Each structure stands twice: as structure tokens, then as C-alpha cells.
Amino acid sequence: MAARIIDGSAIAKELQQKIKADVAKLKEQNKTPGLAIVLVNSPVARTNIAELKKRMCDSVGIYCEVHTLNSLSGQANVMALVEKLNADPKITGINIHPMPNHIDYRAVVHAIDPLKDVEGIHPMNLGNFLIGDKQYIPFTPRGIMKLLESTGIELKGKRAVIVGRSQHVGLPVGFLLLEQHATVSFAHSRSWYLEQLTCQADVLIVATGHPEMITGSMVKPGAIVIDVGTNLVGGHLVGDVEHDSVNQVAGWITPVPGGVGPMTVAMLLNNLIGCCD
Ligand code: NDP
């Protein structure tokens, strides 16, 4: 039997309605949430996602600026822009897109005003997150937890395996799952016997950036599979999970597109509301 689809688009749409109402309430108090998206033009910049975020902001009444620096921009240009946005009262949240290698991303993250850290990536906010303060939580993991919640399945005691340990996806989602009393393991590029690990997972989260690397034979029957990957292959968007084979084994699965992606954008806006409180 085919897996049940976890419909991220539908859940994100519901959340959007709530965000719209929250924005209207904030505007009554003369507060308008304002998002600045910063990207340096490059293959990793995800320009189309920036445009999608801008459209979503427009649809719920959030002010949004997209700052696209040209590919030759250096560290000083990015830092100067972040400083300018930190000081701009119209901007309540700053979202930095993946930077090309010649930019020191860590220095950029340190430069963000922690109160405008809509991504929850500033060391101060990450530290607070680890001791249980939930105001600034990375938005993709937050969206993933919402998708898991939508299945109605209790996570307590379940074996969760996360393939990928990045600071904005894999690691934080692991902490959120631990908080729900799941038993959590991380796999990464140096993990041996990946299949043995993934086959034990009641909840399998995959965020590696390798198209369709998880196949049906690597999944426990009935598992919940969350595919975070977004890879352009031959002009089509595919996940890190081979949907057709995994769909035959898993109990639940997120589609790509229409799973984690829309939730990520909705949770970004949700975090932005939090930055205004
Ligand atoms: P990163 O490149 O930052 O991290 C990738 C992780 O995967 C690393 O921990 C790496 O291990 C691990 N990895 C790489 N190859 C393997 C392998 N063969 N076996 C096991 N683990 C492996 O990626 P991100 O976390 O930023 O993103 C991952 C994917 O999710 C990408 O496709 C990205 O586009 C997508 N994404 C989608 C979002 C959405 O909203 N849908 C949001 C954010 C990301 P190591 O640490 O050892 O290098």
C-alpha cells in the first residue's frame, strides 16, 4: 500500500491564514513586520526561493526587501549591508541565503542583530534554543516538527534517524525530536552502514542535498519519512528520497515539491511575527 502523503502545502496555507491575522493585529498596534532577504548571486543563492518568500510576504501584508548583491561582492559588502539592515527600523528580521565560498558565512551570522535573527542561527539564539528558550528556532526544523505533528503519531520513544547534520536543519531538528522524547541518531557523510541505521528509523529525516539517495530498501516499513532535499535534476525538483520506491514502504511521506518547502517559508514568516513581539 502506498504511503500517506503529508501535505505541506495545505498545512502551510492554514498557517498563512493565521499569520495574516497576526499581521493585521500587529498593524493595529502600529507595528509592521519587515523582512530583508540577503543573497549574493551565485549557484547556491536560491534566487527563486527569495522571490517566492517575497510573494508570500506580500500576500499576508508583510513588508519585504530582497537584496541581491552581485557575484563579485566581497565580505565587506555583505557586512555593510547587514549593519545597515540592523539599523533600519522597517526591518524586523534578516534572512541570509546560502553564501558562496568566498564569503565567511559565520562572520555574517555573528553580525546579525540577535533580535532580528529570524532564522535562529545567531550563536546567542542557538544557545538559548538549547536551554529551552523557543523564541528564535531555525524555521525549517520548526516546519518539520509541524509536519510530524500533523500525522497525529506520538514521537515519544520512537527511533528517529536524521541523515544530515547541518546547523540550520539536521542538528536543530534532532534537538526538537529529543525534546519530544524520541531516541535520536544522526548520520552524515562519514557514517558507515547508512542503510542499517536508516532501516531502524520509525522517523527518518533526510537533508543531505544528494538527489534520491534514500531508496525503498533503506526504509523501515511504516516509517514516517520527511524529505528535506530540494535538488534540480534535468529541470525538475527532486528530493533526497527516491519517492517512488520509498512510497511503497513508508507509512507517511512528504512530497517534493509540496512538503517541507512550503512549510519552511510559512515558518519563516511565523518567526518574523515572533521577532515583532
Ligand atoms: P548541508 O550541505 O549544509 O548539509 C548536508 C548534510 O548532509 C551534511 O551534514 C553532510 O555530512 C550530509 N551528507 C552529505 N552527503 C551524505 C551522504 N552521502 N550520506 C550521509 N550524509 C551525507 O545541506 P543543508 O542541510 O543546507 O540542506 C540539505 C538539503 O536540504 C539540500 O538539498 C537543501 O537544498 C535542502 N533544504 C531544503 C529546505 C526546504 O525548505 N525544503 C531548507 C533547507 C535546505 P557532513 O556533515 O559529514 O558533511
- Band of pLDDT at residue 107, cut at 50, 70 and 90: very high
- Check: CB of residue 219 under 8 Å from CB of residue 243: no
Q: Where do the structural domains in the chain lie, given as residue ranges?
A: 30-114, 138-260
How does the average pLDDT of the chain come out, rounded? Answer: 95
Structure confidence by residue, pLDDT tens digits, 231-251? 989 989 999 999 999 999 999
Q: Quick one: CA dihedral 173, 179, 180, 181, positive or negative?
A: positive
Structure confidence by residue, pLDDT tens digits, 10-62? 999 999 999 999 999 999 999 999 999 999 988 777 778 899 999 999 999 99
Helices vs. strands in the chain: H and E counts, helices first: 10, 11
Is residue 228 in contact with ligand 1, taking CB distance under 6 Å? yes
SS (H, E, C) 182-225: CEEEEECCCCCCHHHHHCCCCEEEECCCCCCCECHHHCCCCCEE
Cell of 43: 549557484
**Ligand 1: centre distance to CA 166 (Å):** 6
Is residue 165 in contact with ligand 1, taking CB distance under 6 Å? yes
Domain 138-260 in the same topology as domain 30-114:
yes
**Ligand 1: centre distance to CA 163 (Å):** 8
68's enclosing H/E stretch is: strand 63-69
Is residue 189 in contact with ligand 1, taking CB distance under 6 Å? yes
Best residue among 142, 166, 206, 240 to mutate for probing ligand 1, ranked by most atoms within 8 Å of CB: 166
In CATH terms, 138-260 corresponds, of 3.10.180.10, 3.30.300.130, 3.40.50.970, 3.40.50.720, to: 3.40.50.720
**Ligand 1: centre distance to CA 209 (Å):** 5
Ligand 1 atom with the shortest distance to the CA of 231: 32
Is residue 207 in contact with ligand 1, taking CB distance under 6 Å? yes
In CATH terms, 30-114 corresponds, of 1.20.120.450, 3.40.630.30, 3.40.50.10860, 3.40.50.300, to: 3.40.50.10860
Structure confidence by residue, pLDDT tens digits, 137-191? 999 999 999 999 999 999 999 999 999 999 999 999 999 999 999 999 999 999 9
- Identify the three-state secondary structure at position 120: coil
Q: Is 165 exposed, middle or buried (0-12, 13-18, 19+ CB in 10 A)?
A: middle
Is residue 18 in contact with ligand 1, taking CB distance under 6 Å? no
Residue positions counted in the chain? 277
**Ligand 1: centre distance to CA 25 (Å):** 37
Is residue 46 in contact with ligand 1, taking CB distance under 6 Å? no
The answer, as to whether pTM is greater than 0.85, is: yes
Over its C-alpha atoms, the chain yields an Rg (Å, rounded) of 19
Closest C-alpha residue for ligand 1 atom 34 = 230
